[in-house]
Structure 1
Amino acid sequence: MDPNNCVWCAEDNWKDYRCKSVDTKDWCPTHRINPTSSINVTEDKSFSSDLGKTVQIRPQQYNVDLRIGQQINFNFSYDAAKNYPVDIYFLIDVSNSMYEIKKRVADQSKRIFLTLSNLTNNVYLGLGTFVEKNVLPFTSEITSNDTAYSFKHHVKLTESYDEFKTVVSKTPLRKNYDEPESALDALAQVMACKEEIGWRTQSRKIVVLLTDASFHVAGDGKAGGIIKPYDGKCYTKNGVYLNEAKMDYPSVGIINKLARDEQIIVVFAVESKVQNHYTKLTHALRHSFCTTYDSSDMDEILKNIYEVYTQLPLNTPVEITQKIKLEVKSEYMKKMDITFEPDCYTSEGNECNVKKGEQINFTGTIKLLDQVPASNFTLDVLIGGIKEKLTLNMNVINKCNCPTVKNSTDCSSFGNRRCGICECYPGRYGGECECTATTSGRRSDNATCIAPGDTTTCSGHGFCHCGTCNCRDGYNGQFCECNVNSCKMDASGAACSGHGLCACGVCTCTSSEWIGPDCSCYKPNTPCLVDGKVCNNRGTCECGSCKCQAVEVWDARWYQDKRCSVMPCADCHNRQCDLLKSCARCHHTGGECTQCHHKIRINVTQTLNDYNLNNTNWNICYFDTKNICYSRFMYRYDNSDYSIEMVVQTDSDCAQSYYMFGGIFLLTLILIGIVTLVAWKLLVDARDRQEYTRFKKQQEEDMSETCVNPRFRPPTMTFNNPAFKRGSLFRNN
């Protein structure tokens, strides 16, 4: 049951629980006590814009009676005062790289002033500058005219923008060594030195920090030998920060505290290259944000501050929209859930826009989540940037408001009756004040019903009667500290595995067959027996289950059943042969075989043919001998005592080796012949090619000119007939 949603039964002689859920039916029909939260206004001044008497939040104070677990609503309004003073302090980085920005601020000081005048006609401007600590290694020279400094205050908050412009223009630039600047040093002094800067008591306070570099943080001062932490106080005299060489840079936490305490809005107007650094810094600082000064007009920065949206020319009246952010302060924030409508509070960036002259109404909801040490405390609701607040005086409801019957006879006339129970006088205790502390030897009812090291009566599971705890159902023990279901549950949800009784988290087993802290261990070894042997003599029986020994190194089998029987496997034969070969080879030669495990029983025979090789229990393996021959052995498992029987053959089979070596020799000869023929062929071919090449070359040379062979003889001969006469042919005719 949720204790924050219970009601109290104040009926007399009530035997049931007095506290139950508000939704419980058919219980305590006539006298239920259910305290409810309430709220009333105790201070409500009217809105005012009078200087020194400004009121912008209404009402200013509530009294709240709040019960744990309940929520209550409260309303308040915000109306920005007309011409509410604005103090804006410009904090400018005057390192050499900031020349253009400093000149732009000076040139546009009138536009800056007129922009702020659109919000209020009561504007004060101030000016301070910073560079860097005048300490090595943060600055390169500490004696030159360009000496750097952490902070200088030049113009106290004033309404004269001419003075502001003049000082900005004449402020000289400085140089430093490293890129990070002393921005946080300067910012801390501006917020801490209220009189030096001239902050007004009632004003919206804004610091605009302009820089083009990142910033040093706490701890960086160690590089210059500065280790004393900054304490959040003002050390600026006559416009100069005196402790820049004595104190380290401020922490972000100190900056945030100063800004929150003084309700100062911080705006970082920076160059785009370092915007990411300052955006991360704004996440740690309430009521701060980051923008860039890349725009041509510096008054745009101030328009971002107040969210000024206008298309009108300068000096034309504009409609100004202000962003506001709610803040809540209380020492018990983690114990409460607070929301607002409209939501200007919860998440980062949740802000509300308020037009100038417009009133905004808020509805807050507050819920107390848990008990707090104090019965009364305060909660403040603030609006960022103004030092007004709404205060809620919180009264925690932790008692029932019931009528009291003094010296009630229902309390044995030794106590008062309130809310259906007795509040006993000193020296008496008990449900009806029937117990006397002096006669019982007990100083109080609660003292004897509270367990050592506890603070709750009967451990919160019973009630105390005359020094003795009466426990509710489901609990037992001297102080009702024991839950009857506090023992370990099994899968079915039974305590002590259904074999015992639970007492204060300890099981008492009801049967001798079940033991263990949760009675889940079955003591008899019956489930572990195999042919009368516990776990096949290869393990121990624990809680009805076998814890088996590991398989021996000589055994190629790997699987054991739940009773430690080693089971055969189809692919184990080759591995088993490999495991036994060394032992078989040793016994084959007749040596001293110390490598053979004592569980291997070995017989040696001349030939395995003497045995029945068809017996399926035997498995045959082959191994090579020293003389490059082969032999055999066979083995079989004996599960009766987890061993292996082995028979080794002493005869060797060398025929296979002879055939093998003869074949190898023959193949070698054939291979040599083939190689020889191939080599001869290659050599002949190479010689023929060489001769042919030489012939072709000689032929080409011989064809280049005509040659006569002196030994050449023509194949024909011509003979002349001396008696032949050419003309005789004609004469015969």
Structure 2
Amino acid sequence: MDWCVLSLLLLMLGKDGLCQQEEVCSKSVINSCDDCIRSGPYCAWCQQLNFTKTGEQEAVRCDTQAKLIARGCETIDIISPQNMEMITQQDPLSSSFDTEEPVQMSPQKIKLKLRPGLPHKFTVSFKRAEGYPVDLYYLMDLSYSMKDDLENVKGLGKDLFAALNKITKHAKIGFGAFVDKTVLPYTNTNKEKLEKPCDENDQFCQAAFGYRHVLNMTSSQDEFQKKVAGQFISGNLDSPEGSLDAMMQAAVCGDKIGWRNSSTRLIVLATDDGFHMAGDGKLAGILEPNDELCHMENNLYVKSSELDYPSVGQLALQLEQNNIQPIFAVTENMKDVYMELTKMIPKSEVGVLSSDSKNVVQLIEGAYNKLSSKVTVTHDILPDNVRVEYMPVCAHPKQEGPNKGVCDEVQVGHEISFEITVTVDKCMEERSFTISPLGIKDKLTVTISTNCECQCHDSVGSYHSHCNNRGSVKCGICRCNESYVGQFCNCDIGNKDEHSLRASCQRQNGTECEGRGDCVCGRCQCHTTEERSFYHGDYCECDDEHCEKFQNKLCAGNGDCHCGKCRCHPGYEGTACQCPVSEEGCRTPNNTVCYHRGNCKCNLCECKEGYQRPHCQYCLGCPEPCQIKLSCIECLGFDSGPLKKNCYTVCSKSISFVLVEKFSLHTKECQQKDSQGCWIKFKLEQLVGEDNYKAEILNKKDCPEPPSVIAIIAGSIAAVAFIGILLLMLVKLLIHMKDLKEFKKFENEKKKSKWANADNPLFQNPTTTVANPLFTGE
């Protein structure tokens, strides 16, 4: 086999294989044995007297068992509480149903006392008892679309009992029916339609109802046939039915249905439609959530019109608590819907009905075999900080998450087991939870408590020589009597407050003696080694082993480590004493060190802020000297400006007009405006040092001539007049353009007008012409 593959297999074996899990004790603040064992599952405590060396903290008593033994602790003195298990009830498994209460799971009660963080494994056995009783409740949809199916179900009694008798001799069958809530918009609330919701031509139709329990669990085939034969179809308006309402009542009304305590409980839901669920009741103004209680009176669900439909989660919880396994016998078109439903309801199956439900017996028989051969072990609500994992030990294990153990294809009489691992993460009071197979009454009650206290074998008495006869010993540590403190009760505090003594061992309210020593009588007693003192200082804040190294040598071998810092021997410098003392590399051409702008360390210039290596000659980001020195030039050269009153005090140290040294670094000519708006031209020479300049004024002030007031006034008046005339001309132009546009519009309209020439029939000419008969025309 390839070596890589072999290595991988060995790694996969884990703790129980060839590779052992490394035991680690992660210690925090340890003041007692109880603190130690609460720090981790592999932490152990050594109660051996004189186990700690002088100056050592008692926390060294806490470590893994292997490390304590290696340090010299006797095995008998090591305290490491382990998990404890006690089975308080373990009835043997039953092979067949020959008693009132057959046992299919063992043990039944177990007590665990666990160490926090330390997993504990135990085994639970399960065996299907032969001939275990079966209670089957046939819950049928009696909406109008199921008319043909009802006729076939009326003749199924014989076949149903025959199929169940193959499984057990102790079978019982009940019957119930459902449609939907008798309120709008689910059902027609017209009085006549409530009485007869079916087709008018249908003579056999019963009044509308939500859910009705018809027959208690019975082993009588004739009684089943008789009750079912008396059922008739009903009706409603919408397609989804009130099946969840019916299943909820069938689950919680156990006494009225007749469920037996020791039986496999099955509900067969036969329908050809979907289902209403929580929230749908709002359509009918039903706002009260389903309360998951039984509301059956005279075999009828009386709160159907007052309570909303249950949610799928509510129904799943009640089915699980009452050990009921549903079988959904549905038509092909509803198969996918109910398959999704089975994902949310554990221990449920879906079967496809034929168009007339003739195959329902075979469907129930197949679904029962699937349900009964699949054993799923899980738990109810766990206490806080408790984890449970399952490992099935059987021929056909299945993985459905760490919170379930699943074995499939389990045969009757065949024993299987589950390896259960329980882990408690924190100390807790006694709590209980149950583990059970889904759909089966058998339960295992697990009672958990935690083992968080040390059981040390201490000598009885308040005075022990190990504690200078001033206290008792508890798990190897002195518990001092009143007025005494210290590792061995060797400090008499008298009337002093122990808290104030301990406070004097804390630097800036920090850890007592920096965690490197013990507070003895108000003074820090630092931890030591056998060879020499390891820590020192008033608060044990110093050690001489953790200074900077150079070339893997502490303080480069050229100095001594003291309280975390190197003290260099003469002739050496640097944080690790790695440099010989020299200024050769820092010398400048004018024989200064770093131009007096930095310090020479390890033969290199360490420049002040802004100045750049190698010799601090140039400044990056420094302000422009022409601007910052303008005020001093103005006051020193012209006796004016904002610094006139204290010119000498402010400016004499940084600028002068006399060359005090021959060497200059930079020269710059400047031209700036002073406070009076006059131009000044001057030259600046930068000298050695941070702020040191030599100045030379190159010209007199160049001040601009003052403006002519008369010209300004005349120009202003002319400008105002010109703008006024321009605005008037613009307004006139706009008015003219508007009038021209309106005139052109009028002309166009005039050309388009057409005048009609018509005679007025009522018009009479006012002039009358009369011929003179005597007129001859001459």
Bin of the TM-score, shorter chain as denominator length: 0.5 to 0.7
Contact 2:505 2:539 in 1 (8 A): yes
Tell me, which stretches of 5 or more residues in structure 1 are unaligned? Answer: 309-319, 481-500, 503-509, 515-520, 540-733
1:18-57 maps to which residues of 2 (within 5 A)? Answer: 18-24=61-67, 26-30=70-74, 31-48=77-94, 49-57=97-105
Match of 1:329 among 380, 383, 400: 380
Whole-angstrom distance in 2 between the partners of 1:100 and 1:479: 94
Q: Could you say if the C-alpha distance between residues 107 and 352 of structure 1 is closer, same or farther in structure 2, counting changes exceeding 3 Å?
A: farther
Aligned residue in 1 for 2:281: 221
> Is residue 427–residue 444 contact of structure 1 (8 Å, CA) maintained in 2?
no
How is 1:716-727 mapped onto 2 (pairs within 5 angstroms)? Answer: none
Q: Are positions 1:90 and 2:138 aligned together?
A: yes
| RMSD (CA atoms) | 4.6
Report the equivalent of 2:155: 107
Post-superposition CA distance 1:24-65 (Å, at most 9, x none): 372243132222223232222233434433322222222323
Does the CA-based 8 Å contact 1:326-1:345 persist in structure 2? no
Summarize deviations over 1:359-418 as a string: whole Å, max 9, x none: 3231423141511432x2224221122222122332322123321222252345565423
Match of 1:240 in 2: 300
Structure 1 pair 418–230 and aligned structure 2 pair: CA distance change class (3 A): same
SS of 2:449's partner is strand
User: Corresponding residue for 1:729?
Assistant: none
Question: Which SS does the other structure have where 1:247 is aligned?
Answer: coil
Q: CA deviation at 1:117?
A: 1.5
Kindly state the Cα deviation for residue 123 of structure 1 after the two structures are TM-superposed: 0.7
Contact 2:330 2:350 in 1 (8 A): yes
CA deviations over 1:119-139 (Å, ceiling 9, x no partner): 211111111111111111122
Q: What amino acid sits opposite 2:71 in the alignment?
A: W
Q: 1:157 aligns with which of 205, 214, 217?
A: 217
- Measured after TM superposition, the shift of residue 101 of structure 1 is 3.1
Partner of 1:76: 124
**CA distance in structure 2 between the partners assigned to 1:4 and 1:288 by the alignment:** 41
1:428-475: CA deviation from partner (whole Å, max 9, x where unpaired): 776556689994446899999999xx9x99999998878999999999
Query: Is the contact between residue 607 and residue 616 of structure 2 (CA under 8 Å) also seen in structure 1?
Result: no
Residue 301 of structure 1 aligns to a residue whose secondary structure is helix
Counterparts of 1:123 and 1:449, CA distance in 2? 81
Query: 1-side partners of 2:166 and 2:514: how far apart?
Result: 68
Secondary structure at 1:307 match in 2: helix
The correspondence for 1:252, drawn from 295, 312, 337, is 312
TM-score (norm 2): 0.55
TM-score (norm 1): 0.58
Partner of 1:547: none
The structural deviation recorded for 1:327 is 1.6
- In the superposition, relative to structure 1, how do residues 93 and 20 fare at CA in structure 2: closer, same or farther (>3 Å)? same
Classify 1:165/1:393 alpha carbon distance in 2 versus 1 (closer, same or farther; 3 Å).
Answer: same
Query: CA contact under 8 A between 1:265 and 1:287: conserved in structure 2?
Result: yes
Q: Compared with structure 1, are the counterparts of its residues 401 and 172 closer, same or farther at alpha carbon in structure 2 (3 Å cutoff)?
A: same
Match of 2:364 in 1: 302
1:8 aligns with 2:62: no
**Do the aligned partners of residues 201 and 26 (structure 1) sit closer, same or farther apart at CA in structure 2, a change above 3 Å counting?**
same
Q: Determine which of 280, 288, 291 is the counterpart of 1:231.
A: 291
CA contact (8 A) 2:83 2:114 kept: yes
Q: Contact (CA 8 Å) 1:47, 1:58: kept in 2 or not?
A: yes
Q: CA deviation at 1:71?
A: 2.8
The CA distance in 2 between the partners of 1:358 and 1:201, in whole Å, is: 21
Deviations 1:128-173 (A, max 9, x none): 1111111111223353222432211001111123322333343222
SS in 1 for 2:154: helix
The answer as to whether partners of 1:182 and 1:216 remain within 8 angstroms in 2 is yes
* Distance of aligned partners of 1:160 and 1:37 in 2 relative to their CA distance in 1, 3 Å threshold: same
Aligned residue number for residue 341 of structure 1 = 392
Change (3 A) 1:526 1:399: same
**Counterpart amino acid of residue 79 in structure 2:** I
Cα distance between partner residues in 2 of 1:392 and 1:56? 17
Corresponding letter in the other structure for 1:368: T
Q: Secondary structure at the match of 2:41?
A: helix
SS in 1 for 2:362: helix
Distance 1:185 1:293 in 2: 22
Kindly indicate whether residue 218 of structure 2 is the aligned counterpart of residue 175 of structure 1: no
Counterpart among 471, 477, 480 of residue 421 in structure 1: 477
Distance 1:18 1:438 in 2: 30
User: For residue 255 of structure 2, what is the aligned residue in structure 1?
Assistant: 195
**Equivalent residue number for residue 371 of structure 1:** 426
Q: 1:35 to 1:226 in 2, by over 3 A?
A: same
Report which of the two structures shows the higher radius of gyration computed on alpha carbons: 1
Give how far 1:346 is off.
Answer: 5.5
Hey, what's the Cα distance between the residues in 2 that align with 1:161 and 1:35? 62
Query: C-alpha separation between the residues in 1 aligned to 2:623 and 2:300?
Result: 94
Partner amino acid for 1:124?
Answer: K
Q: 1:228 to 1:345 in 2, by over 3 A?
A: farther
Within the alignment, does 1:263 sit opposite 2:263 as a pair? no
Q: Is contact 1:208-1:266 (8 Å) kept? A: yes
**Distance in structure 2 (CA, Å) of the matches to 1:264 and 1:328:** 16
Q: Tell me which residue corresponds to 1:600.
A: none
How far the C-alpha of 1:73 sits from its partner, in A, is: 2.7
Q: Distance in 1 between matches of 2:294 and 2:168?
A: 29
- Give distance in 2, aligned partners of 1:513 and 1:136: 94
Are the equivalent residues in 2 in contact too, given 1:181–1:214 (CA < 8 A)? yes
1:608 is matched with which residue?
A: none
Q: In structure 1, what is the equivalent of residue 407 of structure 2?
A: 352
Distance 1:226 1:536, change over 3 A: same
Measure the CA separation in 2 of the matches of 1:449 and 1:85: 76
- Once residues 201 and 137 of structure 1 are traced to their aligned partners in structure 2, the CA distance between those partners, rounded to angstroms, is 40
From the superposition, tell whether residues 222 and 534 of structure 1 become closer, same or farther in structure 2 (CA, over 3 Å).
same
Q: Partners in 2 of 1:80 and 1:162 — Cα distance?
A: 30
Sequence identity (%): 28
SS of the aligned residue for 2:277 comes to coil
Specify whether residues 468 and 259 from structure 1 end up closer, same or farther in structure 2 by C-alpha distance, changes over 3 A only.
farther
1:522-537 aligned within 5 A: 524-527=609-612, 532=618, 534-535=620-621
Quote how far apart the aligned CAs of 1:229 are.
1.1
Distance 2:500 2:375 in 1: 57
**3-state SS of paired residue (1:218):** coil
User: Kindly tell me: are residues 357 and 284 of structure 1, through their superposed partners in 2, closer, same or farther at Cα, counting changes over 3 Å?
Assistant: closer
Q: How does 1:646-661 map to 2 (within 5 A)?
A: none
Whether the 8 Å CA contact 2:130–2:413 is kept in 1: the answer is no
Cα shift readout 1:200-222 (whole Å, capped 9, x = no counterpart): 12222111112222211211111
User: Do the aligned residues in 2 keep the contact of 1:279 with 1:290 (CA within 8 Å)?
Assistant: yes
2:48·2:73 contact (CA, 8 Å) conserved in 1? no
CA distance 1:156–1:391, shift in 2 (3 Å) = same
Aligned mates of 1:240, 1:38 — CA distance in 2 = 53
Secondary structure of the corresponding residue to residue 84 of structure 1: coil
1:346 and 1:332 map into 2 onto residues whose CA distance is 24
5+ residue gaps, structure 2: 1-24, 27-39, 198-206, 529-533, 541-562, 565-574, 576-596, 600-605, 626-778
Report the 3-state secondary structure (helix = DSSP H, G, I; strand = E; otherwise coil) of the residue aligned with 1:98: helix
**Structure 1 residues 443 and 167: CA distance shift in structure 2, 3 A:** farther
Q: Output the CA distance in 2 between the equivalents of 1:216 and 1:229.
A: 13
